[in-house]
């Protein structure tokens, strides 16, 4: 059984989609980041970085923890032998996973933060991260010209990883049609998003009442390094 530590944000959504695509048995463990549950001692033993997602795999008889969405996708792909693509494309798979994990993800996250969460509207920071998010979209859009999938000729964990963030393009880039300037990316996203497993992945965790308010307590839980530590 996989214990899946979850909050309804892009990186955990990737793992939801993998689990629903493969049918691997799992148990959802909600972690409400706006309530600061990611900072508990129990969760830090699973992910010292205090971020979501994380998993604990109990199938081997001893608990195996894995944290960071890219690491989890690779681990589960190797565990199941599914969605890893052709052996000849291994280098491409790893390269695009890292491009998503170190580029699209963090730059999109910072774009959202400075546009929507920062206490001050800082034009330089907003422009910097918004344009970098756009640049990453442009790279992926160009790569997807004439292609149905990011790596090789089949659906892989690279597609799942990118879907998690491209699904939030409206929040990252703004506007009513954020993918209009990226026709290949839009075509790819619509095809992935139409998969039956996506609808199931979107339902994961919806039976839990996650905190919605971004009040001062939530900000302190979400962005603790912005606040001085107690003496």
Q: Two tokens at 217?
A: 């307590």
Distance CA 30, CA 205 (A): 7
**Rg, the chain, Cα only:** 18
E strand or H helix that includes residue 202: helix 196-203
Residues 166-186: b if buried by 16+ CB within 10 A, e if exposed: bbbbeebbeeeebbeebebbb
User: In this structure, is the dihedral angle defined by the CA atoms of residues 35, 37, 41 and 45, taken in order, positive or negative?
Assistant: negative
Residue whose C-alpha is closest to residue 145's, from 108, 184, 111? 184
Please state the rounded mean pLDDT for residues 195-203. Answer: 98
- Residue pair 64/70 in contact (Cβ under 8 Å)? The answer is no
Q: What is the pLDDT of residues 7-53, one digit of tens each?
A: 999 999 999 999 999 999 999 999 999 999 999 999 999 999 999 99
Confidence at 230, pLDDT banded by 50, 70, 90:
low
What are the residues whose beta carbons fall under 8 Å from the beta carbon of 173, sequence distance 6 or more?
111, 130, 133, 134, 137
Please state the rounded mean pLDDT for residues 186-197. Answer: 98
Please state the rounded mean pLDDT for residues 93-102. Answer: 98
The pTM score is 0.96
Confidence at 231, pLDDT banded by 50, 70, 90:
very low
Q: What is the pLDDT of residues 71-82, one digit of tens each?
A: 999 999 999 999
Residue 225 DSSP label: G
Q: What is the pLDDT of residues 124-173, one digit of tens each?
A: 999 999 999 999 999 999 999 999 999 999 999 999 999 999 999 999 99
- Output the pLDDT for position 229: 73
Identify the structural domains of the chain with CATH numbers, from first to last: 2-82+200-226 (3.40.30.10), 87-194 (1.20.1050.10)
Confidence at 60, pLDDT banded by 50, 70, 90:
confident
Q: Two tokens at 142?
A: 């160009």
Distance CA 155, CA 116 (A): 33
Provide the mean pLDDT of the chain: 96
């Amino acid at each position: 059984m996989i214990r899946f530590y979850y909050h309804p944000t892009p990186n955990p959504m990737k793992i939801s989609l993998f689990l629903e695509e493969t049918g691997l048995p799992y148990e959802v463990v909600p972690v409400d980041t706006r309530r600061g549950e990611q900072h508990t001692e129990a969760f830090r033993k699973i992910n010292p970085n205090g971020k979501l997602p994380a998993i604990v795999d109990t199938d081997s008889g001893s608990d195996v923890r894995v944290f960071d969405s890219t690491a989890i996708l690779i681990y589960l792909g190797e565990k199941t032998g599914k969605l890893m693509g052709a052996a000849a494309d291994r280098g491409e798979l790893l390269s695009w996973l890292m491009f998503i994990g170190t580029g699209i993800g963090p730059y999109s996250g910072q774009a959202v933060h400075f546009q929507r969460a920062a206490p001050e509207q800082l034009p330089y920071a907003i422009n910097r991260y918004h344009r970098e998010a756009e640049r990453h979209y442009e790279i992926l859009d160009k790569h997807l010209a004439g292609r149905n999938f990011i790596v090789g000729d089949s659906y892989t964990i690279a597609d799942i990883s990118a879907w998690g963030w491209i699904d939030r393009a409206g929040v990252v880039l703004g506007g009513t049609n954020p993918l209009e300037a990226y026709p290949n990316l839009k075509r790819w996203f619509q095809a992935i998003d139409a998969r039956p497993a996506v609808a199931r992945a979107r339902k994961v965790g919806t039976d839990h009442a996650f905190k919605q308010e971004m009040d001062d307590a939530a900000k302190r839980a979400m962005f603790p390094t912005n606040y001085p530590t107690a003496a």
